[in-house]
């Protein structure tokens, strides 16, 4: 499989270790095509976006500023997808530029054989329920977090293997997951869904989920935990 591999690069301290990890990715039976969009002048990118909308940051802001921020991020993610499609790739592996992934990530995600599948990234230094994979509430366009991985009372990690299409502890096995930050997107879903915010200032990943769900797609994840550098720094601050 021909896979575009890259992401959105923001000018921050995480870029050097991020790029080092990305360049170490094993291709396995696949062909890796580097694919980057840079948010400003950052080494290692072959495309740039310049506009006057607010840039991404983790600070709380008013609804309109958030909407503009996430629309800007959505524009860059859509650029990345269009580059991947233009390079005749069958899939896009997108990894945010503050995340360190294992060398085997591409192979493990591809083996899931799913059009929209991610690895795991903790998004909070204190809340074990807040990850990059979440329940997408299709009726109201919101997300609901859950704990996708953990250690049981017997000391054994769960889930242990495979691709999961639902919360492993959900006895109803409801398939309503969405995922961002570290994900493999098939060409077919990139042609059916776009990243965008909405009038309530919600993240662009929720806009993508809305499009994907409307087209009949649901996400899956593999129990591979990546290192989130900015969250890890907050933990040790």
d(CA 53, CA 158): 41
Q: Tell me the domain boundaries of the chain.
A: 2-236
Angular region, 212: left φ>0, alpha ψ -120 to 50, beta rest? alpha
Instruction: Please name which of 41, 72, 42 lies closest in space to residue 57, comparing C-alpha atoms.
Output: 72
For residue 53, the model assigns a pLDDT of: 58
Per DSSP, the three-state class of 227 is strand
d(CA 134, CA 25): 26
Position 55 confidence tier, pLDDT thresholds 50, 70, 90 = low
Sign for the pseudo-dihedral over CA of 101, 103, 104, 109: positive
For the record, the structure tokens of 227 come out as 């290192």
How are beta strands 2-9 and 31-38 bridged, if at all?
parallel
pLDDT single digits (tens) 19-53:
999 999 999 999 999 999 988 765 544 444 555 55
**Mean pLDDT across the chain, nearest whole number?**
89
For residue 64, the model assigns a pLDDT of: 79
Superfamily of domain 2-236: Spore Coat Polysaccharide Biosynthesis Protein SpsA; Chain A (3.90.550.10)
Q: Are 159 and 175 in contact (CB under 8 A)?
A: no
Of the listed ranges 25-29, 126-130, 174-178, the one predicted with least confidence: 126-130
For residue 11, the model assigns a pLDDT of: 87
Share of the chain above pLDDT 70, in %: 88
List, as one string, the DSSP characters of 3-17.
Answer: EEEEEEE-SSTTHHH
Residue 227 has pLDDT above 70, yes or no: yes
d(CA 9, CA 133): 21
For the record, the structure tokens of 7 come out as 């992401």
How many CA within 13 A on the CB side of residue 199? Answer: 1
Read off the pLDDT of each residue in 177-198 and give the average, rounded to a whole number.
96
For residue 236, the model assigns a pLDDT of: 45
Share of the chain above pLDDT 90, in %: 69
For residue 56, the model assigns a pLDDT of: 58
Read off the pLDDT of each residue in 69-94 and give the average, rounded to a whole number.
95
pLDDT single digits (tens) 107-118:
999 999 999 999
Residue 234 has pLDDT above 50, yes or no: yes
For the record, the structure tokens of 56 come out as 């991404």
């Amino acid at each position: 499989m021909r896979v575009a591999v890259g992401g959105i690069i923001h000018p921050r301290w995480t870029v050097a270790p991020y790029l080092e990890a990305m360049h170490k990715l094993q291709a396995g039976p696949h062909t890796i095509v580097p694919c980057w969009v840079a948010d400003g002048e950052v080494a290692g990118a072959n495309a740039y976006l310049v506009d006057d909308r607010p840039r991404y940051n983790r600070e709380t802001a008013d609804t309109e500023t958030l909407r503009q921020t996430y629309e800007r991020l959505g524009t860059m993610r859509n650029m990345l997808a269009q580059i991947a499609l233009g390079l005749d790739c069958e899939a896009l592996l997108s990894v945010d530029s503050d995340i360190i992934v294992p060398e085997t990530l591409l192979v493990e995600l591809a083996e899931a054989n799913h059009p929209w599948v991610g690895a795991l990234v903790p998004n909070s230094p204190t809340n074990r329920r807040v990850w990059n994979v979440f329940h997408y509430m299709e009726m109201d366009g919101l997300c609901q977090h859950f704990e996708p991985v953990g250690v049981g009372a017997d000391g054994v990690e769960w889930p242990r293997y495979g691709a999961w299409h639902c919360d492993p502890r959900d006895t109803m096995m409801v398939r309503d997951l969405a995922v961002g930050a570290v994900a493999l997107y098939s060409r077919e879903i990139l042609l059916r869904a776009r990243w965008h915010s909405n009038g309530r200032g919600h993240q662009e990943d929720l806009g993508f989920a809305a499009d994907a769900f409307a087209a009949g797609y649901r996400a899956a994840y593999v129990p591979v935990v990546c290192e989130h550098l900015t969250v890890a720094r907050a933990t040790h601050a």
